[in-house]
Amino acid sequence: MKPKEIAVYGGSFNPPHRGHHEAARTALETLRPDRFLIVPDNAPPHKELEEGSPTPDERLQLCRLCFSDLPGIEVSEMEIRRSGKSYTYDTVCDLQSQFPKARLTLVVGTDMFLSFEEWYHFEYLLSCCRLAVLARDLDDDEVLQSARDRFCEEYDADIVILPHTPFPMSSTEIRSALRQRGGREYLTDEVYAEVIRKRLYHAQPELSWLREQAYAMLSEKRIAHVAGCESEAIALARRWGEDPELAAEAAILHDITKRLSPKDQLHLCEKYGMICDDAEKDTPSLLHAKTGAALARDLFGAPDAVFEAIRWHTTGKPDMTLLEKIIYLADYIEPTRDFPGVDRLRALAYEDIDRAMLLGLEMSLVEIRARGKEPYIDTQLASEWFIRHTTEKGTTTC
């Protein structure tokens, strides 16, 4: 059956947020059209998208995630696939061609309504489309009513003002918040997860959210260890001049695949194209560092520094970065750890981080050999590197 009424809600949706979601829900429930189209634009004609904004296809995907729970909503690609500036006039003409008998309703906010006379072929749009206007601010009612009356008188327009509770944050403010580990409450869960996964808008994950995601992947006993590792990593980062939030991010994610079976570990290695040597296959516990780093990047968009810190937190390696050393040591000395020599290692970690690395590696080599196993090659090479490095600095382990 061909639709009798089609509602169109267009915009940049950069990003699509809870305000957009609520506006669409309000319009959907009030207008009850036969079809309701969300139409993200390709290139908005009235403004330039902020540098570093997601691609049109990425915004399209965010829209699909944002509005997926609203029955009857369709996210349309028509403007994304159309080259050049995205004019509503072209969209309306396309819809009229497809559905010549349908009434078209354009859902717009206060700003777009008040500037409607600047739209391309606005008079044509007013002649063939109804406008459904959503207030942006609580004090918009008077100005909206005044503009509505003028449009009706001058253009014989059909305009309805929808009852609507305005959203407290603009897209610009949300983008800024995302860069500062905020903004989560303004996006749906699905949109926020995708923004973080791809690090769109240069977003940094809220650490409380990251904990929720990571802890759900851990055993209860492991959660206590990871929480301790995070607190230790933050303290070490502050002591040695690393970014405490970056250290926290790496610590929170460092064991996310620890719970997996050896078979599942190897499956992840295959999925992410990681080559495993015989020693790793014989000692699957080594693999969680590799697979954890890969999954942290895939699910949470972990940057290279965090990826590498997770990758080397179990074995160590020669010439480690400061963050890599911090996560290696935090994992070793966090408050729940209790083994002979741990107090000495804890103290040294805050006195000389390189000497602490050497001591930790030597303790690890001794423990591995005591179990009748040959130490992993990266741990041996790391130990040799730190021996040379600390010797050149004129220090040795205590």
Give 208-227 as a DSSP string. HHHHHHHHTTS-HHHHHHHH
| 252-281 residues labelled b (16+ CB within 10 A) or e (exposed) | bbbbbbbebeeeebbebbeeeebebeeebe
Q: What fold characterizes domain 5-190?
A: Rossmann fold (3.40.50)
Instruction: Using alpha carbons, list the distances in angstroms from residue 242 to 118, 204, 248.
Output: 50, 16, 11
pLDDT digits (tens, 9 = 90+) for 26-44: 999 999 999 999 999 998 8
In the numeric block, the tokens 């601010």 are attached to 137
pLDDT of residue 136: 67
Phi, psi of 106 (to 5 degrees): -95, 120
- Please tell me the distance from the alpha carbon of residue 174 to that of residue 177, in angstroms, as a whole number: 5
Per the model's pLDDT, the better-predicted residue between 275 and 66 turns out to be: 66
- Please tell me the distance from the alpha carbon of residue 134 to that of residue 171, in angstroms, as a whole number: 16
In the numeric block, which tokens belong to residue 341?
A: 């020599």
Residues linked to residue 103 through DSSP beta bridges, in sequence order: 5
Domain 216-392 grouped into CATH 1.10.3210.10: yes
Give domain limits for the chain: 5-190, 216-392
Per the model's pLDDT, the better-predicted residue between 52 and 248 turns out to be: 248
**pTM value > 0.85:** yes
pLDDT of residue 138: 56
pLDDT digits (tens, 9 = 90+) for 109-148: 988 999 999 999 999 999 999 999 997 665 667 888 999 9
SS3 71: coil
pLDDT of residue 142: 83
pLDDT of residue 376: 86
- Please tell me the distance from the alpha carbon of residue 238 to that of residue 169, in angstroms, as a whole number: 33
Count CB neighbours of 202 within 10 A.
10
Helix H or strand E encompassing 37: strand 35-40
Predicted confidence band of residue 398 (pLDDT cuts 50, 70, 90): very low
Of 382, 377, 378, nearest to 360 by C-alpha is 382
Amino acid (1-letter code) at residue 141 = D
SS3 382: helix
- Please tell me the distance from the alpha carbon of residue 281 to that of residue 262, in angstroms, as a whole number: 8
Whole-number average pLDDT of the chain: 92
pLDDT of residue 284: 66
pLDDT higher than 90, residue 98: yes
Q: Give percent of the chain above pLDDT 70.
A: 96
